Amino acid sequence: MSRTPIIAANWKMNIGPAEAKTFLAGLKNEFSCQCSKSCDVVIVPPYITIPAVMETLGDCKCIGVGAQNVSQYDNGAYTGEISTTMLNELGLAYVVLGHSERRQYFGETDAIINAKIKKTLAAKLTPIFCIGETKEERLGGKLEEVLKTQIVDGLKDLTPAEVETIVIAYEPVWAIGTGLTATSKEAQEAHAYIRGVLADTFGQATADKVRIQYGGSVKPENAAELMAQPDIDGALVGGAALKPDSFAAIVKASC
Ligand SMILES: O=C[C@H](O)COP(=O)(O)O
């Protein structure tokens, strides 16, 4: 089954508007803005940096832009929140949802994430839906149980047609920002399990279409081996996506 790899840079709470312009000038030097069919490339800045990124990208339409979160509410008295309507107004394509940092530090539950995924799909935006286990859960033999619950509850009530448009990011929490990467074997096993749960829940044809990214200390040195695994369809990159040469090297190694 051929799936177009998707490599996304999650800048987290880094890179303001001025720094973003410098980053993108560097990125454009590293690779051409000629759209390639071999890979989708996405940048996910902080909200406040998004307009600078859109403006600087200009005609470089082959790089997609996403948000790191969105509200499950439509509009109104929700201080600090941003709606899908606002993201549409900016012309974004993707929204990262369910990141372990949102789950851990901001109390996002599977039910909240499910509401956000529904809102995102209704706005014709593509969710990048993050799942993954902690070190304790893996060591305690709970890897499969945790992933299954996150998938089934996070994608509750969605149709197979909706699910096949979603990107899933498998990010073992113990590998995020730690320098510890899952081995390509560990990552492939988890991705194959995730695809199996999708097949059991939404059908094999849908599962075969869903792109599953790996995230957790992806670097230029390990990207090619991870991307060579049959069920790994791209990467969600944090720390190594904060410098244009390093992010470009990951893109080149993956596409
Ligand atoms: O969203 C990205 C992930 O959390 C991975 O972050 P990292 O590459 O710094 O480990």
| Token pair recorded at residue 142 | 């709970």
Query: What's the gap between Cα 254 and its chain centre?
Result: 15
Q: Whose CA is nearest to atom 6 of ligand 1?
A: 238
**Ligand 1 mean position to 177 CA, how many Å?**
6
Q: Is 147:108 a contact under the CB 8 Å cutoff?
A: no
Which band of pLDDT confidence, cut at 50, 70 and 90, is reported for residue 33?
Answer: low
Dist CA 254 CA 221 (whole Å):
11
Please give the number of the atom of ligand 1 that sits closest to the Cα of 216: 10
Q: Which CATH class is domain 6-254?
A: alpha beta
Q: Whose CA is nearest to atom 7 of ligand 1?
A: 238
SS3 state at 43:
strand
Please give the number of the atom of ligand 1 that sits closest to the Cα of 218: 8
**Ligand 1 mean position to 130 CA, how many Å?**
11
φ, ψ at 125 (rounded to 5°): -105, 155
Q: Whose CA is nearest to atom 2 of ligand 1?
A: 238
**For residues 14 and 180, which has the higher predicted lDDT (pLDDT)?**
14
Dist CA 45 CA 57 (whole Å):
13
Q: Which residues are catalytic?
A: 99, 171
- Mean pLDDT is lowest, of 62-71, 98-107, 141-150, 175-184, for 175-184
Residue-wise pLDDT tens digits, 181-237: 889 999 999 999 999 999 999 999 999 999 999 999 999 999 999 999 999 999 999
Q: Is the CB of 216 under 6 A from ligand 1?
A: yes
The amino acid present at 153, given as its one-letter code, is D
Average of per-residue pLDDT values in the chain: 95
The pLDDT, as a whole number, for residue 211 is 98
- Mean pLDDT across 152-170: 98
Please give the number of the atom of ligand 1 that sits closest to the Cα of 241: 8
Q: Is 95:128 a contact under the CB 8 Å cutoff?
A: yes
The amino acid present at 62, given as its one-letter code, is C
**Residue 37 predicted with pLDDT over 80:** no
Dist CA 45 CA 15 (whole Å):
7
**Residue 62 predicted with pLDDT over 90:** no
The pLDDT, as a whole number, for residue 228 is 96
Q: Which ipTM score applies to this complex?
A: 0.99
Q: Is 172:182 a contact under the CB 8 Å cutoff?
A: yes
